Copies of this chain bind each other. A is one copy, B any other.
Amino acid sequence: MQLTRAADYAVRVMIHLASLPPAARLSRASLATAAEVPTQFLSKVLQVLVRSRLVIAYRGTRGGFGLAVPPEQISVLTVVEAVEGPIQLNVCLTNGLGCGRQGWCPAHIVWQDAQAALTQVLKNASIAKLASQTVAPRQEKVVYPWN
């Protein structure tokens, strides 16, 4: 019962992008350094974030990666679920997958409650708020579309 590396990295990337000035874009290499992700792995994570419309990939000399959505509207839960799919702490909580024991199994409600408690914390954690708490040193070259 552990978060995937991809989801962890995706959250790091989103927080880092959110900590930049609005409209700023960052190269894949800078993001890899900032989020401490192997470049190849980062490419896969960025693909998922772009496909989920959380990140935009800009091409060309002023290209790079930037947020597609204001970070105030993005929670850690959104990012985790973009990578891992809906959180389902146990298979019996999978939507559409009926469990024959569900009607009477006393453990079912425990898994439900545990999942609700977990997702509530992740839902309340705004990417914008987390970005404002970042105190890591900054060294990367940020690109703006108007440069």
Residues of A within 8 A of B (CB): 1-5, 7-8, 11-12, 15, 36, 76, 80, 84, 87-92, 100-101, 104-107, 110-111, 113-114, 117-118, 120-122, 125, 130-131, 133-136
21 A–B pairs (Cβ distance < 8 Å), ordered by A: A1-B1, A1-B3, A1-B80, A1-B84, A3-B90, A3-B111, A8-B92, A8-B107, A12-B107, A15-B107, A36-B100, A76-B107, A76-B110, A104-B135, A107-B130, A110-B121, A110-B122, A113-B125, A114-B118, A117-B117, A118-B118
**A4: nearest residue on chain B (CB-CB)?**
B1
Q: Which residues of B contact A134 (CB under 8 A)?
A: 104, 106
Minimal Cβ-Cβ distance residue in B for A88: B2
Q: Which residues of B contact A12 (CB under 8 A)?
A: 105, 107
Asked whether A130 and B104 contact (CB < 8 A) given A1-B3, A1-B4, the answer is: no
> With A and B bound together, what is the CA distance between A78 and B81 in angstroms?
28
Most chain B Cβ neighbours within 10 Å, of A3, A11, A113, A135: A3
> Smallest Cβ distance from A146 to chain B, in angstroms?
29
